[in-house]
């Protein structure tokens, strides 16, 4: 049974107060809080088990290396990748997508080649592709969402032309919570020979992920949203694609031999991991994944679906509040605006006074904001430890904000 109070007790920060009120943390879409097991693992790694990895032959280096390397397998299990060699460890989704842009896309794309993006991508899945547009004349083709904020897989597939070299889409919008059928997109794209990159930064947090079933070529995740340390993350890369990639960042660890005249590279995935990595962050990330797998992502998804439906039922009573996008079949992420002159920042400041942490702004999704015709929204994004009582606290705080600005 999913015991949310027991789970909350695992997260020390949830018992603190903010502005004299109990913390109601609804900014999980930006970054999630950490359970004590992750905090303990980080402390243990720094206090008793720290050394650089891969390089030394001494006890501590071997210990740190074993702990660090074991995370690759945990990520492969979490994502259901067929082999841990398909997992490149990194600092998060942004680095993962940049690796694909520089290592895979840049060497194989020419002026006039096309990349298809949805209008609801995060800047992390936009700006690296703009680099290709600016530097080599690659054309970015945008697919709109419908009035409910849903992305029709067929609309994506209809955009493919003989020049299409990649589709890059999110599995879950960080603004609307919309879930995208990335499997349908991948199936259709592969039938036309087009690889697919999935931004799993939000999707992996809210639902069980099975990259083998999705069939995608690249799937990027980020540790700090998965209840792990910031500066940790990974990207799943199908072995055929990895074999096509050039290294991106050069330095130690990713090489086999270096001389004045030549360099040879380590085997993948190490070929794509240069320099001293986020050793402790990655070890903590592994513990966070253990925590999630113990809870079961299916159970997390069911709990969050309950919170989503309850939130919808409470928001429905507020006719001065406008939720952007769909309210069903999505992750428990709500972006909204309020009638009247109140700016999203003012609303979030009032909520903060009540101890409610939400995000306000463009949420790193400029094209989506343009599409929606807004400059900013407030976003309440739920996580595995949130409760119905916290939804009520949010609604009370919103009513207060509305009264103040009405």
Q: What are the residues binding ligand PLP (CB under 6 A)? A: 92-94, 122, 124-125, 170, 174, 199, 201-202, 222, 224
| Closer residue to ligand PLP in complex, CB, 92/195 | 92
Q: How far is the CB of 58 from ligand PLP (least distance, A)?
A: 33
| Closer residue to ligand PLP in complex, CB, 119/342 | 119
Tokens of 357: 């942490």
Q: How far is the CB of 335 from ligand PLP (least distance, A)?
A: 12
Report CA torsion sign: 260, 262, 268, 274.
Answer: positive
Q: How far apart are CA 103 and CA 242, in angstroms?
A: 9
392 within 8 A of 406, measured Cβ to Cβ: no
200 within 8 A of 189, measured Cβ to Cβ: no
Q: How far apart are CA 115 and CA 235, in angstroms?
A: 19
| Closer residue to ligand PLP in complex, CB, 288/401 | 288
| Annotation marks residue 378 as catalytic | no
Q: How far is the CB of 32 from ligand PLP (least distance, A)?
A: 11
Q: Is 271 helix (H, G, I), strand (E, B) or coil?
A: helix
Burial bucket for residue 59 (CB in 10 Å: 0-12, 13-18, 19+):
exposed
Q: How far apart are CA 51 and CA 65, in angstroms?
A: 8
Q: Which of 172, 216, 364, 378 is catalytic?
A: 364
Q: How far is the CB of 93 from ligand PLP (least distance, A)?
A: 4
| Closer residue to ligand PLP in complex, CB, 64/237 | 237
Q: How far is the CB of 57 from ligand PLP (least distance, A)?
A: 34
Q: How far apart are CA 214 and CA 217, in angstroms?
A: 9
| Closer residue to ligand PLP in complex, CB, 142/320 | 142
**C-alpha dist (Å) from residue 339 to 343, 395, 397, 398:** 10, 15, 15, 12
Q: How far apart are CA 284 and CA 133, in angstroms?
A: 37
Report CA torsion sign: 44, 297, 188, 157.
Answer: negative
| Closer residue to ligand PLP in complex, CB, 113/231 | 231
200 within 8 A of 219, measured Cβ to Cβ: yes
Length of the chain: 406
Q: How far apart are CA 23 and CA 14, in angstroms?
A: 6
Element (H, E) at 237: strand 233-237
391-394: long-range contacts at Cβ-Cβ below 8 A with a sequence spacing of 24 or more? 391/307, 391/310, 391/311, 391/314, 392/314, 393/24, 393/354, 393/355, 393/356, 394/24, 394/26, 394/311, 394/351, 394/356, 394/358
Q: How far is the CB of 282 from ligand PLP (least distance, A)?
A: 14
Active site residue ranges: 364
């Amino acid at each position: 049974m999913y015991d949310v109070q027991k789970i909350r007790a695992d997260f020390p920060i949830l018992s603190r107060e903010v502005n004299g009120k109990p913390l109601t943390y609804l900014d999980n879409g930006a970054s999630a809080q950490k359970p004590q097991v992750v905090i303990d693992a980080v402390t243990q790694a720094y206090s008793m088990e720290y050394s650089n990895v891969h390089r030394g032959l001494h006890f501590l280096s071997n210990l740190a290396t074993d702990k660090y390397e074991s995370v690759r397998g945990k990520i492969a299990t979490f994502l259901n990748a067929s082999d841990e060699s398909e997992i490149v460890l990194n600092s998060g989704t942004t680095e993962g997508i940049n690796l694909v842009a520089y290592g895979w896309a840049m060497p194989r794309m020419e002026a006039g080649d096309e990349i298809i993006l949805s209008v609801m991508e995060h800047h992390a899945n936009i700006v690296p592709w703009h680099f290709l547009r600016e530097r080599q004349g690659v054309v970015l083709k945008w697919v709109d969402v419908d009035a409910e904020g849903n992305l029709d897989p067929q609309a994506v597939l209809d955009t493919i032309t003989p020049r299409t070299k990649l589709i890059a889409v999110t599995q879950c919008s960080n603004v609307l919570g919309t879930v995208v059928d990335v499997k349908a997109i991948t199936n259709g794209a592969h039938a036309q020979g087009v690889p697919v990159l999935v931004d799993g930064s939000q999707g992996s947090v809210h639902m069980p992920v099975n990259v083998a079933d999705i069939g995608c070529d690249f799937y990027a995740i980020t540790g700090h949203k998965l209840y792990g340390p910031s500066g940790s993350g990974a990207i799943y890369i199908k072995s055929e694609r990895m074999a096509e990639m050039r290294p991106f960042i050069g330095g130690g660890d990713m090489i086999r031999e270096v001389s004045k005249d030549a360099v040879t590279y380590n085997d993948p995935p190490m070929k794509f991991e240069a320099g001293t990595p986020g050793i402790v962050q990655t070890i903590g990330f592994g513990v966070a994944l253990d925590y999630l797998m113990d809870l079961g992502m299916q159970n997390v998804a069911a709990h969050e679906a309950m919170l989503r439906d309850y939130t919808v039922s409470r928001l429905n009573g507020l006719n001065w509040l406008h939720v952007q996008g769909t309210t069903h079949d999505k992750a428990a992420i709500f972006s909204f605006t309020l009638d009247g002159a109140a700016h999203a920042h003012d609303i979030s400041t009032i909520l903060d006074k009540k101890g409610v942490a939400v995000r306000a702004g463009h949420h790193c999704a400029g094209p989506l904001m343009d599409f929606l015709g807004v400059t900013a929204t407030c976003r309440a994004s739920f996580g595995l430890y949130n409760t119905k009582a916290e939804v009520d606290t949010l609604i009370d705080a919103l009513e207060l904000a509305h009264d103040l600005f009405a």
